[in-house]
Amino acid sequence: MIAANEALERLRQGNCRFVSDRRGEGAGGARPIELAAGQEPFAIVLGCSDSRVPAEIVFDQGLGDLFVIRVAGNIVAPSQVGSVEFAAERFGTRLVVVLGHSNCGAILATLEQLGRPGGSQSPNLRSIVDRVRPSVAGLLATELRRDPEALVHEAVRANIRASADHLRHGSRILEQLIQSDGLLVVGAEYSLETGVVDFFDGLP
């Protein structure tokens, strides 16, 4: 089992390689046949489905290194919680990263919906917006509403924090692992513009 702090450092180093275009230098060289019998991912990543933010690439990791759960807006619903519980219990993975990104489409859709209530959305898209809304609605009552760019930036981070908090406090299994087994849940934002991942929430 790899400790959470060591796993976090691996991700930081991997992202540095990605940003400096040295990808592949640190990624594991496991072949599919070598992993057929089992896996030991050192980090769990709950990330956004955006095609520009594939966790294995932005952290320069290989097959079997990361247990990745992707959903629009990096929201946390029961299936995401269950997936994190599964990996943390089954594989002993001790680091969970909620990975959002700049200019997230789910955040933009939520802010648009808040600005124009009653707009038409499918029930399925609305279910995503409804999970994002509580973390960002309060920002519209601040001076941020006059600065769209700053509003989106803060909304992205507020949503990441909310998802990380949900994992920390919305599961008896994860709470127990945090309290007694060294599980760490952190929030991070990936910059589409620079490729840099900023770990900003829940750091030890």
Give the domain CATH number at 8: 3.40.1050.10
Q: What angle do CA 109, 78, 188 make, to 5 degrees?
A: 55
**Secondary structure element (H or E) that encloses residue 198, with its range:** strand 197-201
The rounded distance, in Å, linking the Cα atoms of 114 and 24 is 42
**Secondary structure element (H or E) that encloses residue 57, with its range:** helix 55-58
List CB contacts of 8: < 8 A, sequence separation 6 or more.
Answer: 43, 95, 184, 186, 199, 203
Identify the pLDDT of residue 38.
77
DSSP 155-170: HHHHHHHHHHHHHHHS
Identify the pLDDT of residue 204.
87
The rounded distance, in Å, linking the Cα atoms of 155 and 56 is 25
The rounded distance, in Å, linking the Cα atoms of 73 and 77 is 11
Task: Identify the burial level of 86 via C-beta atoms within 10 angstroms of its C-beta, where 0-12 means exposed, 13-18 middle and 19 or more buried.
Answer: middle
197 and 99 Cβ atoms separated by less than 8 Å: yes
Identify the pLDDT of residue 25.
63
Identify the pLDDT of residue 79.
96
Task: Identify the burial level of 116 via C-beta atoms within 10 angstroms of its C-beta, where 0-12 means exposed, 13-18 middle and 19 or more buried.
Answer: exposed
Provide block-wise average pLDDT over 10 residues at a time, the chain (204 residues).
96 97 70 76 98 97 96 97 98 98 96 77 87 94 93 97 98 98 98 98 94
Q: Which domain holds residue 60?
A: 4-201
pTM > 0.95: yes or no:
no
Give the chain's domain count: 1
